[in-house]
Structure 1
Amino acid sequence: MVSSVTLFNAGMVAYFLAFLFYTIYSFSRTNWSGKLATAFAWLGVFIQGAGFVVRGIEKAQVNMVSDWTAFYKYAPFTNMYESLMLFGWTAVFLYLIFEWKYKNKAFGMFVIPLALIGELSTQILGFSEEAQPLVPALQSNWLLFHVVTTFIGYAAAAVSAGIAYAYFAKREDTTTRDWVVIFLTTWFIFFFIIYSAYRENFVLFLGISAIAALAFCGALYLIKKTGIVNILPSIEALEQMMYQSVAVGFVFLTIGIILGAVWAKYAWGGYWSWDPKETWSLITWLVYAAYLHARYIKGLRGKPLAYFTIVGFLSVIFTYYGVNLIIPGLHSYAQ
């Protein structure tokens, strides 16, 4: 039987090819490149979906379980490697739903890279690819539902951030301050993903991540100046897409937090213990709650909401990488 790691890697190759053809489509606007981009994205989703099934079988074998309850009791996303695969898979799947709904492929080149960065970080940071036995705290029927709902929320945050970057590229009045914010936030993402795992050579990783952020901003600026953004949806449509992706993420983050609290009651005797993961999950939830309040109640529109979206994604990055790898707590087993 083909291993789950092989399937996950094959899916990443498909995502890379999808990104390549989305980029070609954005430059050439040829129908064939757009179709190939979508086809490779769906192929990656299908292959990695099969990878999760195989991973579930592998986890059941490692935990010496053979009945039908194995998949949700020993769900295949309980460590950094598996959960990052789930993040990338879910982000691409959600993007494809948005692509189908809005009949626009142009923002694929903004979203697919975020999924790829998440999945490729498993290779860069050297997370174990082996299916491992579950610690007792994770051996629960709540595992599948809590993790899946939370990561759908994380994936929606990534989609909304990708749309926010496309939004700034599309706007004609993007200022120097906007570009500085884009650079700093991207720098934070690259730096924190790398440094949270190695925690050494601070200056070196600071420089490497700055170069990566500059390259990203340069690519975004090139996209803006070459007129590729003209095939993106209108500013109003991008704002609506941001809102909908944030709303989806907020709903699933809310469900994930509630399920986590119920699970904590059974596992640790209390609904809430102010564990670092719980605290930062709440902070992330509050950022997106503020976004929805500002848009829906206060009627705020424009750049401030795009900033909210990016800040929310930064909070997701810290909640996931920072809390798991730097701050010790009840969720430290997720490494």
Structure 2
Amino acid sequence: MTNESLAGYANLSLYSAMAVFTIAMVCHAIYLAALLPARDQLRGQAVDRDSELVTAGAGAGSGVGGPPLPTRPTEGELSSRARTAAGIAASTTWLGGFLLVLSVALRGLAVHRWPLGNMFEFAVMGSMFTVLAYSIWSTRRDLRWLGLFITGPVLLVLGMAVAVWYTEASELMPSLRSYWLVIHVTVATLATAVFTIGAALTAVYLLKDAFERSGRASVLDRFPETPAIERTAYSLHIVAFPLWTFTLIAGAIWARQAWASYWNWDPKEVWTFVIWVVYAAYLHSRATSGISRQTASFIALAGYACIIVNFAVVNVFFVGQHSYSGL
């Protein structure tokens, strides 16, 4: 089989993964949409029971307080459509992840190297890591409520990879032909994937917290409690930060071998360090008692915004020693 054929099959696997993720995203949305009616139905039943108790108490000449309103329907109280949509969403998310693995493997065989030589390949492998991390994690915890916030961004990144960042399969520049490509860029990709899931959880936490403070009901009431979501996001950032630290150090070592200097003030180097500083500020603020969880979470989202700038802006519009590894 020729390299062109392998590259073509890699693209076909990628397109198939995008189609599958579209189905997964829709099914995740259907599942979330089905949660709110179930919650409202339970709330209405609770209000009816409360009214009956109050009426009975008034007739007896004494006030009776009603039970607290339930806000979380149990699995048995979910509609069959919601359960079916959740099952399809989980299966298609797994399938999409495997299709991305196949796409990455075929791309690597087509170019006879580790498939992380440009933005297109980085985006595909980063999406693969994100989906697989979420899918594996979902086997240990019920994360159906988070699926839309994972498959949606992944589908967006893959769409950008195909439409904007696509690069024909080719050999690497001489400076990139190093074992440090496998070490440095792979760890950077893995760290970005973990940061992505952490950012999704942080955004959900801030959104749910805002609704709770306003007193408005929403489908977010079905999600885990806000402290639990925030702690989980914090845990993921604790995992991702050392990976990004290693990325920064490994990049400096590789720069010494390739460009004879550990630090060259290249735009990519500078923004990698900026990301590290912002996330370090987040971890510090999270451990500081005088700073609220909401403020710390906004700092975490600022760190992820820096990741987006580093990848989608610096790689494209800034000229530097990393320019040949962009588009």
Query: Under a length normalisation based on structure 1, what TM-score does the superposition of the two structures give?
Result: 0.77
**Amino acid paired to 1:56:** G
In the TM superposition, residue 111 of structure 1 has moved relative to its aligned partner by: 2.2
Equivalent-residue separation in structure 1 for 2:153 and 2:274 (angstroms): 22
Change (3 A) 1:231 1:104: farther
Q: Please point out which of 289, 308, 320 is paired with 2:311.
A: 320
Whether the 8 Å CA contact 2:120–2:167 is kept in 1: the answer is yes
Q: Does 1:37 align with 2:28?
A: no
Partner in structure 1 of residue 106 of structure 2 = 54
Partner in structure 2 of residue 104 of structure 1 = 143
Query: Under a length normalisation based on structure 2, what TM-score does the superposition of the two structures give?
Result: 0.78
Q: Please point out which of 122, 132, 141 is paired with 1:83.
A: 122
Change (3 A) 1:101 1:297: farther
**Amino acid paired to 1:169:** L
Equivalent-residue separation in structure 2 for 1:226 and 1:296 (angstroms): 31
Alignment partner of 1:106: what SS?
Answer: helix
Whether the 8 Å CA contact 1:157–1:309 is kept in 2: the answer is no
Partner in structure 2 of residue 119 of structure 1 = 158
Equivalent-residue separation in structure 2 for 1:323 and 1:174 (angstroms): 38
Equivalent-residue separation in structure 2 for 1:287 and 1:259 (angstroms): 19
List alignment gaps of at least 5 residues for structure 2. 1-5, 36-81
Aligned pairs for 1:104-253 (under 5 A) are: 104-125=143-164, 127-172=165-210, 227-253=218-244
Equivalent-residue separation in structure 2 for 1:163 and 1:106 (angstroms): 11
Q: Please point out which of 267, 273, 276 is paired with 1:282.
A: 273
Change (3 A) 1:49 1:235: same
Change (3 A) 1:75 1:270: same
**Amino acid paired to 2:10:** S
Equivalent-residue separation in structure 2 for 1:171 and 1:230 (angstroms): 10
Alignment partner of 2:151: what SS?
Answer: helix
In the TM superposition, residue 11 of structure 1 has moved relative to its aligned partner by: 1.3
Q: Does 1:10 align with 2:21?
A: no
Whether the 8 Å CA contact 1:110–1:165 is kept in 2: the answer is no
- What CA deviation, in whole Å up to 9, does each residue of 1:112-168 have, x standing for no partner? 21222111112332x334211111111111101111110111122221221122112
Q: Does 1:27 align with 2:44?
A: no
List alignment gaps of at least 5 residues for structure 1. 61-73, 177-223
Equivalent-residue separation in structure 1 for 2:212 and 2:160 (angstroms): 30
Whether the 8 Å CA contact 1:21–1:36 is kept in 2: the answer is yes
Change (3 A) 1:276 1:298: farther
Percent identity (aligned) = 27
**Amino acid paired to 1:96:** S
Partner in structure 2 of residue 208 of structure 1 = none
CA RMSD of aligned residues (A): 2.1
